[in-house]
Amino acid sequence: MRRMADRLTISDVATYPRPGMDAPGMIGFTPDSRAVTWLHAADGGLVRSLWRIDVETEERSVIAGPGADAPMSREEELLRERTRTRELGVAAYSWATDSEDPVLMIPGPVVRVSVDGEPLRELDGTQGALTPMLSPDGMQLSFVRSGELFVLPIDGSSDVVQLTSGAEDGLSHGLADYIAQEEFGQLRGHWWSKDDRIAYLRVDERHIPPYPIVHMGGDVVDVETHRYPFSGDANADVSLWVVPASGGEAVELPLPDEDGYLVRVAWWPDGRGGERLVAQWIGRAQKRMRLIAFDGGAPTTLIDEQQEPWINVADDARGLNDGTFLWSSEATGYRHLTLHASDGAVVHTLTEGKWIVDGVIGVDQDGGRVYFTSTRGSPLERRVERVSLSGGEIETLSTPGGVHGASLSRDGKWLAMLDSSLSDPPSVSLVAADGSSRTLLYQSEIAPAPIGIEPPELRTFSAADGTTLYGALYYPDGDGPHPLLVAVYGGPHAQTVLDAWGLTVDLRAQYLAQQGFLVLKLDNRGMAGRGLEFEAHLHRQMGTIEVDDQAAAVEQLAGEGHANIERVGVYGWSYGGYMTVMSMLRRPDLFKVGVSGAPVSDWDGYDTGYTERYMGTPQNNAEGYREGSLLTHADRLRGELLLIHGGVDENVHFRHTARLITALVAADRDYDLLMFPAERHMPRDQAGLEYQERRVARHFERHLARE
């Protein structure tokens, strides 16, 4: 049906970044709004530097180069896993939020700082610092080391001050717990106020049994332990404290007296020239969210939101200078924005409709407008839009179609807009907020045809209940019916089918299409981007409705003559690995061959924060856990299954695959295993990735491609 210009190789498939995906990252502005800053590797690789692009002249300069390679601590390695970061060199940067002169901080094995454009210098005493953070005025740096919170003046005028004590194995100060990091996106555990106080977390996990992970692939045996809270078991005890940055007595703030999660903490303007500490608390069942303000230490509940079947945590809340605040909620079934008075009362409804606010970009308080991304055009697109803080008409700032995001300058005059589509690799433009100018700052030179690929075709399918489902098809040469491969994820909080360049440069799908397979990606009910009602279909029944939808799409393709119903395979990673095996077990008549990476074999072996949101606990949903377990249905395997797993995966433990193997052996079912002893949840080693892709392609070629 479609002729490719060239042929991809296994090396192409295994190489990161993908073609055109080397666009700048962490795009922002200097505090004075005079320059755009971003992380970028000029050679198109993974080793990035920090760049500055002048808004007026477009002059470009490198503020910080990648520096020499340095050993990464275990803690830094694990934080990179939390954020799924592959890039090296300068991995992050931040500016002081309220300094007279711009103060830049770059974390690393030793923290580096620059004041008012001076050359970067290393801060002695910050060796091994975790989650470093500048004070608002830029004069001090806080960080965590060995489980304790420290503060250091950046001018070297005095020594490091230790603010906490008593840390031990399982007890830390100033760091977020595993569930907050992995499942709620809360990577930080301490926060500065403008009057030099620091709010911090005390995390006590000593009652959670250590889970050992043994490094067996090297010359030396190494054992790391994690306090991993399994579904239905105890969580970490997390408390919130405030301490003067100069040292002194820390004060504990009262949190709800119930099991739950502290998912967001921030200092907000109180409208009177000062600040108040606010925190978002969600109950363990994740059906009730409270926004709590600590005015003078006493707690006041500003928002008390209850929702079925669960509440998704967002990053949209913003405190404004007049004491009002921005809030988002899915109370209508779709995430939308409201403006609230300082006591929590609703002032204005800012957005509404059967579409979602995908995220808040920023607030121009002087101009009285909030900028955000949305699905108002289509679930397959993301628009950059804005609306007045007093409500009214929504204005679209991005070009039609595709996926768009942006950063907003502090003065509200500029947007750095990132655009891409199936046919256009990411580009970055400087856009005047008043619409007077648009300047292209970055454009990839990659185009689909010269690298031997074409964008997939986007189309719709129908679920059994009539719900419209969106899919993407990668066609091989020739007329159908073709052997079909389903590239599946299937789980909540993810959307794989978008009008975005990343879908085009899914090189495994493109490579397999070149080998003669029709490749399908489908966003089944339960996935993100369509609102809470669409996502909630899998409530308490993971591994059921998702398989039904994938199977329905396969049958529709077969009915149309595109797919050979007798030659269908499936592959995926993580939730997609789980879905791969569950599809083969629940529909062995349809899914004959599979490659499953890092699958969850039984939800009782995954963590509390994620699993209980969707499934409840093993204690209150025993039937859902039983039916959603691969172990329950292992004796139904008929097809050819290849399991892939990293030996030191700290997210989906190798224990999941080990338990599945035990069940398959007990049921006398054949399987193949590819284990990477030194890899975690996200494989990184180039040689290993190439080996993996060869094995994947060979598995499908051997068992599916031939008549």
Active site residues: 574, 649, 681
For 180, which DSSP code? H
**672-676/640-646 β-pairing:** parallel
Distances, alpha carbon 61 to alpha carbons 104, 326, 604, in Å: 15, 36, 51
484-490-493-494 Cα dihedral, nearest 10 degrees: -10
| Contact between 525 and 463 (Cβ < 8 Å) | yes
- CA 398 centroid distance within chain: 23
Give residue for tokens 């990132």. Answer: 418
Cβ neighbours of residue 138 closer than 8 Å, sequence gap 6 or more: 95, 96, 98, 99, 101, 102, 103, 115, 154
Q: What SS3 class is residue 145?
A: strand
Q: Which residues pair with 49 in a beta bridge?
A: 40
Integer Cα distance of 551 and 62 in angstroms? 51
Angle at 564 between CA 559 and CA 568, to 5 degrees: 110
| Contact between 105 and 93 (Cβ < 8 Å) | yes
**47-54/88-89 β-pairing:** parallel
Integer Cα distance of 433 and 417 in angstroms? 11
Would you state the structure tokens that stand for residue 661, as one six-digit string?
């193997």
Integer Cα distance of 591 and 613 in angstroms? 29
Strands of 324-401, DSSP E = 325-329, 336-340, 346-349, 357-364, 369-374, 383-388, 395-396
The kind and range of the H/E element at 50 are strand 47-54
Look at residues 330, 317, 342, 322 and name the one whose alpha carbon lies nearest to residue 266.
317
Alpha carbons within 13 A on the beta-carbon side of 545: 23
Integer Cα distance of 511 and 499 in angstroms? 20
For 704, which DSSP code? I
Look at residues 269, 291, 261, 263 and name the one whose alpha carbon lies nearest to residue 278.
291
For 344, which DSSP code? S
**468-474/482-487 β-pairing:** unpaired
- Strands of the sheet with 383-388, listed across from one edge: 357-364, 369-374, 383-388, 395-396
Q: What SS3 class is residue 78?
A: helix
Give residue for tokens 């989906």. Answer: 652
Please count the other Cβ atoms lying within 10 Å of the Cβ belonging to residue 440.
11
Cβ neighbours of residue 594 closer than 8 Å, sequence gap 6 or more: 569, 570, 571, 580, 581, 583, 584, 639, 640, 641, 642
Would you state the structure tokens that stand for residue 175, as one six-digit string?
């760091």
| Contact between 301 and 344 (Cβ < 8 Å) | yes
Integer Cα distance of 388 and 367 in angstroms? 8
Torsion 114-117-120-124 (CA) sign:
negative
